[in-house]
Amino acid sequence: MCAIHQPNLFPRLSTLAKLYAADRWIVLDDVQFVRRDYQHRARLAALDDPAAQQWLTLPAHLPRGRPTLISEALLADPGRSRRTVGHLVRQYYGRSCHWLDVREALEAVLDEFEATDRVSDVARASTVALLDALGWSGEVLDSSAIPTRGGRSERLADLAAATSSTHYLCGTGGRRYLDSRAFDARDIQVLFFHTPVNTSEPLWQWARRTSSLWAVSSLGSTALGGKLIECRPAAVLAASA
């Protein structure tokens, strides 16, 4: 089972849960960079009050202007961005009893700043670090390394097929644009994934808005991993509805 998603900086719990439920994550790194998306920014939620939020943003330079691909976007000031990430994450979550879980993921990201000047590399590293903290053992691949056709649904189906995936795990927003015929032709089943809805549990109330760092800080990686395992059957039920 594969999930295909753009690299996000310290992704939201809804995104992380989808990737965690898959066997492989195909990083969609060769589509247009969007400044108002989550590719280079994340909402940090206060430990005791998740409604109190602040954007953590990596200023980006787009060498080709608006058509710049995600893989081409550069950090405008890598040193300053590194300091900002380290400072804000510690400020928000440094007093959590699960700080060690957060710190391990943070350090992996800070190390990435020393090795690259690309936004996508840092965003990808932040997601992989969180997945690693949860004990995920899946495979990570780049879409830019896989030949595909041009159509949107055809391209996604080709990516899934090229990685020998029998199922494509898609967010519920995919219902608006996905052409299932492209997947049927490849004998690939589409599963629509969602986190719990209509719940009073803060973990899920903020899942589509705030960075997963808040969830890790609140529950710890072991307990959060257990919560995400509980989400997996929801994808199958949604597909058969």
Q: Summarize pLDDT for 49-90 with one digit per residue, the tens.
A: 999 999 999 999 999 999 999 999 999 999 999 999 999 999
Task: Record the pTM.
Answer: 0.94
Strand residue runs (E) in 130-237: 139-142, 167-171, 189-193
| Closest C-alpha among 162, 127, 164, 132 to residue 147 | 162
**228, 134 Cβ separation under 8 angstroms:** yes
Strand residue runs (E) in the chain: 2-5, 24-27, 41-45, 53-57, 60-61, 74-75, 139-142, 167-171, 189-193
Amino acid at 140: V
Could you give the percent of the chain with pLDDT greater than 90? 86
What is the distance between the alpha carbons of residues 171 and 238, in angstroms, rounded to a whole number?
11
